[in-house]
Amino acid sequence: MTPPSLDLTSDAADLLQVLIDVPSESRDEAVIADAVEAALRTTTHLDVVRDGHTIVARTQLGRSERVVIGGHLDTVPENANLPSRRVSVDGEDRIYGLGACDMKGGVAVSLRLAAALTQPTRDVTWIYYEAEEIDSEFNGLRRLADERPDLLAADFAVLMEPSNAVVEAGCQGTMRVEVSTHGVRSHSARSWMGDNAIHKAGEVLRRLSSYEPRQVEIDGLVYREGLNAVGIRGGVAGNVIPDECVVAVNYRFAPTRSAVEGEAHLREVFDGYDVVVIDAVDGALPGLSHPAAQAFVDAVGGAPSPKFGWTDVARFSGLGVPAVNYGPGNPSLAHHRDEFVPVVDLATVEAGLRSWLSA
């Protein structure tokens, strides 16, 4: 499809609907990236760089502080939730449609501010990136961090993932491991000749059930950890005693614990069993004691919450840049067919950021 011409001065809800109606499933972001790039290039105060389908637009005002404001352009696959719709439910004005919440609402606000704030009090690096919803090898922000870290250099970063229009600080780490039990196959008619690996997994599940996850307070925020089976598989055939059972476990851990420490902890919890790490990423400390973060929280108002899920704020944290999540929409609606964003959230977040960048 031909990229639509984006009017960055139009109402945020209208702009959001235009953005939703440009399908942009991960790995298919060319059209929306073209539209965003073209709109940003009509400004005179932004230095625009394109890398793949990731767009970086920077003010170059020589301010004493530089901040990143980022969001991704891609969505999960369509689920009979296009085109966009504007509906009032229980007196709340909402925009429905694929990506409304995750996270074209944030992108719409960000684009309006990028165009409008020609003289922000902090230099701003606006980032619109590709492939957040799929394997990180494709992630545009990861690629910039690896290949163009200069473009991400900043004193502070805001990721506009949905956060109910309040600041969600840091993020927890996440790790997936597989815990396996082993036995001996036999015909199930002579089960005493074998050794049932699925029966042995009962003890693994018992340890998971009885596990008491920590609640860790950092900068006044309480991070709740979690340790859960997210999958289980075993069995050879309906008449065979199984010789292996694999429990897939997901561990979510507070950002004071590194992935390496998390792995050591899981090896203790599952002592006596095979434990294989499938993937693991560190979380991000909230960093609210950092002056730039404090200024941000003061400007946008409200009480910060901890971010329980893992988000790309951890990539900034890995570069030494304190970062928070702050965006319109309820994160629990992400990836749901009926995702929506309240129009009031768009206004709240826009006002918060505008206040911060004008102070």
CA nearest neighbour of 181 among 162, 201, 206, 165: 201
Phi, psi of 231 (to 5 degrees): -165, 155
In the complex, least distance from residue 204 CB atom to its own copies, rounded to whole angstroms: 8
Selected catalytic residue, list 37, 74, 102, 130: 74
- Binding to its own copies by residue 223, rule CB under 8 A? no
Q: Which of 182, 187, 267, 337 binds its own copies (CB under 8 A)?
A: 187
In the complex, least distance from residue 203 CB atom to its own copies, rounded to whole angstroms: 8
Give residues 242-261 in contact with its own copies (rule: CB under 8 A): 242, 245, 247-248, 250, 252
SS (H, E, C) 182-219: ECECEEHHHHHHCECHHHHHHHHHHHHHHCCCCEEEEC
Cα–Cα dist 122/187, whole Å: 71
Q: Which of 188, 258, 294, 305 binds its own copies (CB under 8 A)?
A: 188
Selected catalytic residue, list 37, 123, 130, 132: 132
Question: Which of these ranges, 88-96, 140-148, 170-178, 344-352, lies near its own copies under the rule CB under 8 A?
Answer: 170-178
For residue 28, what is the enclosing H or E element? none
CB burial of residue 299 (10 Å; 0-12, 13-18, 19+): middle
- Binding to its own copies by residue 235, rule CB under 8 A? yes
132 is catalytic: yes
The Cβ of residue 1 has, within 10 Å, a number of other Cβ atoms equal to 10
74 is catalytic: yes
Q: What is the DSSP letter of 113?
A: H
- Binding to its own copies by residue 332, rule CB under 8 A? yes
Give residues 56-115 in contact with its own copies (rule: CB under 8 A): none
Phi, psi of 207 (to 5 degrees): -65, -40
- Binding to its own copies by residue 22, rule CB under 8 A? no
Active site residue ranges: 74, 132
What is the binding site for its own copies (CB under 8 A)?
A: 172, 174, 176, 187-193, 196, 198-202, 204-206, 208-209, 213, 224, 226, 228-242, 245, 247-248, 250, 252, 308-310, 332
